Amino acid sequence: MNKQDQMTMQEAERKMESLREVFQVVRLVDGKMLMDREKRINAGDLSETCQCYTFWKKDKECENCSSLLALKEQTQKIKFEFLDLQVFQVISRYVEIDGRPYVMEMIQNLDESIQIDQEGYERLISKLSGYNEKLYTDVLTGIYNRRFFEEKIKNMEDEAGIAVIDLDDFKLHNDTYGHSAGDAALITTANIIKKYIRKTDILIRYGGDEFLLILPSIKKHIFEDKLKLIREKIHDAVVPNYEKMQLSVSIGGAIFREGNIEDAVASADRQMYIAKNYKNMVVTEWDENGKKKEENSASEKLKQQILIVDDSEINREILKEILKEDYRILEAANGEECLEQLERYGTGISLVLLDIVMPEMDGFEVLAAMNQNHWIEDIPVIMISSEDSDSYIRRAYEMGVSDYISRPFDAKIVYQRVLNMIKLYAKQRRLIRLVTRQIYEKERNNRMLIGILSQIVEFRNGESGRHVIHINLITQLLLEQLVKKTGKYQLSWEERLLIATASALHDIGKVGIDEKILNKPGKLTKEEFEIMKTHTLIGAQMLDNLDMYRNEKLLKLAYEICRWHHERYDGKGYPDGLVGEEIPISAQVVSLADVYDALVSERVYKKAFSHEKALEMIQNGECGTFNPLLLQCMTEAQDKLKTMMEVAENELKGVEKTE
């Protein structure tokens, strides 16, 4: 700081008087006031405005305050300020007056009286325009950012079509292909939208994977057609360097005519989340005839369902009134009715608003039932109650509720919390569906390859190939029945699927058996039978030789099944004479499935037995000894087993006819 910036108040007044001959406004800003103001802002106190507000006619905080920077750095700062269509140059200079810190502000209006040569003028405008462009541009996509909406669009009054466009499964794209792929998806989406809109239309990156499209002065039917075109073009697009990525968007549309544009954006957002339930879809706030959707219109079916559970009819009506415009409402007057609705609609219910204090069956009992039936995992629950004790709320959260709303109701809070929760679970459900499809596709390919390999074995064994399909189906049925009956074996759905898949390889060792023995029509000699028995060891050895897959769960299960599917519960099986639970459950189940199918199928050495006769022979021990639990499972599921085998046989015959 120069000595000339240290002065008395009289000296400061004289200096400012002379500066006013050059600058339109010269004033002192108290340094202590600036610092105190910053502290209050940082603490969240916005109750008192600084003296700049009146001068610049602003309704919000200054950004990049040049006077504050000049004060902190004890130097001079220059910036440009805008007031309506006027541009001002502001020079802020740090001074000390009577030993106290001040900032002397000198303000000049850059109007026509200020002479700037053409080159300098163009450079100034270019710099200001560049700053403005950077301020309102999304760095990644090059379109407008959320700040542009907040500062430039929020107060618009012109009629316009409003669309919220959400990129489906964006998080999954990021997780599967990496963040660079997510960026590429956003850039591709933005470029396609820009290609199919007018120059007067406004595209904003509104959120991480969400775009806001504003189309001024557009007719309703043209607007909807435009949104459908954008959806189709995005779905057909190829993301550069990520050709396998399939893009799709869910779009919600609304028309803004008057009032607050944020209400139209909120309406478009609600329609978008209806579309999100189906993915790659456009949903607008009007029906096919261009009319506002009515409660009983066909489009109501697209709305998500909310179940309101409260013994007070007045409370139910209040909540219904808040939510009915955007959701289909189901009602239950008590806990029992709630469980009936959950049983009937399942995950067709998007959210439960649950009162805790109810007669007969209260909310906690409902939560217990929802946990027991695993509904709580897929259907979010918001607790509603005037009972606000910590113990009540803590217990509700411990039992799985997602949020708590106290009575009396605040309509806006209720609506927003419901919307937030439904958004969260809608995304979760979409991700689960997508991951499930990917898992299914992967398992289908695995089964197909294993099926091809097992067909080679069946062909060599003189069988039709039905045996492999039958074993798979019977194994799945027995495992499903087993986990319902007991938790002894702790079999997850993934393990059950792998066992059923691996069952196709149970006889792979037969490729090493002489074909004359395999397909001998009569009874095998003792020597021939001993050779036949070695197929269990041959198959196990073949799998054990696959070193690179030895630690894979599927291979381990296939090994167990190959080696031990001819063991018997009483120890009289082969090749190792294992007894009881020494035999892995995978091999036990496939063993029973193998025997049943062998009995009901025709072979070169025998005719087929009926379903009833086969069960009788197995239960009587004519085919060896099996785990009593598995025998009970087969008996309990015998009707389902018979139907399943008949359906499978009919389907196979239908396929053979088409071939």
Identify which of 167, 182, 168, 177 has the alpha carbon closest to the alpha carbon of residue 244: 177
**Distance from C-alpha of 588 to C-alpha of 603, rounded to nearest angstrom:** 23
Please, what is the angle between helix 411-460 and helix 466-485, to 10°?
A: 140
Q: Is the pLDDT of residue 293 over 60?
A: no
What integer is the mean pLDDT of 566-582?
95
pLDDT tier, 101 (very low <50, low <70, confident <90, very high otherwise): very high
Question: Computed over its alpha carbons, how large is the radius of gyration of the chain?
Answer: 37
Single out the residue of 268, 264, 266, 267 nearest to residue 252, CA to CA. Answer: 268
User: Reduced to 3 states, what is the DSSP secondary structure of residue 201?
Assistant: coil
Q: What span, in angstroms and rounded, lies between the C-alpha atoms of 285 and 224?
A: 10
Q: Is the pLDDT of residue 30 over 50?
A: yes
Is the overall model pTM greater than 0.95, yes or no? Answer: no
Predicted pLDDT of residue 297: 45
Per-residue pLDDT for 585 more than 50?
yes
Block residue for tokens 């070193």: 547
pLDDT of residue 658: 46
Model pLDDT, residue 603: 72
**pLDDT higher for 457 or 586?**
586
pLDDT digits (tens, 9 = 90+) for 328-373: 899 999 999 999 988 888 878 889 999 988 888 999 999 999 998 8
Of 27-36, 169-178, 235-244, 304-313, minimum mean pLDDT range: 169-178
Q: Which residue(s) pair with 331 in the sheet?
A: 308
Query: Is residue 155 very low, low, confident or very high in pLDDT (cuts 50, 70, 90)?
Result: confident
Q: Concatenated DSSP letters for 31-89? A: HHHHHHHHHHHHTT--SS--THHHHHT-SS--SS-HHHHHHHHTSEEEEEEEETTEEEE
User: Is the confidence at residue 93, as pLDDT, over 80?
Assistant: yes
pLDDT of residue 411: 85
**pLDDT for the residue 298:** 43
Q: Binning pLDDT at 50, 70 and 90, where does residue 152 land?
A: confident
Tell me the β-bridge partners of 89: 80, 108
User: Look-up: residue for tokens 């149970």?
Assistant: 506
pLDDT single digits (tens) 393-437:
889 899 999 998 888 888 888 888 888 888 787 767 666 666 666
Q: Residue 458: is its pLDDT beyond 50? A: yes
Reported as a single tens digit per residue, the pLDDT across 102-111 is 999 988 877 6
Confidence at residue 470, expressed as pLDDT on a 0 to 100 scale:
87
| Lookup: tokens for 603 | 């072979």
Nearest Cα neighbor of 293 from 251, 348, 254, 249 is: 254
**Helix, strand, coil % in the chain, rounded to nearest 5:** 55, 15, 30
* Closest C-alpha to 305, from 280, 286, 323, 285: 323
Per-residue pLDDT for 113 more than 80?
no
Mean pLDDT of the chain: 83
pLDDT of residue 447: 62
Highest mean pLDDT among 282-296, 418-432, 605-619: 605-619
State whether residue 412 is helix, strand or coil. Answer: helix
pLDDT in tens, 629-646: 999 999 999 999 998 888
- In this predicted structure, the answer to whether residue 85 has a pLDDT above a threshold of 80 is no
Separation between Cα atoms, residue 20 and residue 444, nearest integer Å: 83
Where does the pLDDT of residue 168 fall: very low under 50, low under 70, confident under 90, or very high at 90 and above? confident
Residue 215 has pLDDT above 80, yes or no: yes
| Per-residue model confidence as pLDDT tens digits over 182-212 | 899 999 999 999 999 998 899 999 988 899 9
Could you report the per-residue pLDDT of 524-551, keeping only the tens digit for each?
899 999 999 999 999 999 999 988 888 8
Partners of 354 in the β-ladder:
309, 383
Query: The sheet that has 381-385: what strands, in order across it?
Result: 328-332, 305-309, 349-355, 381-385, 403-406
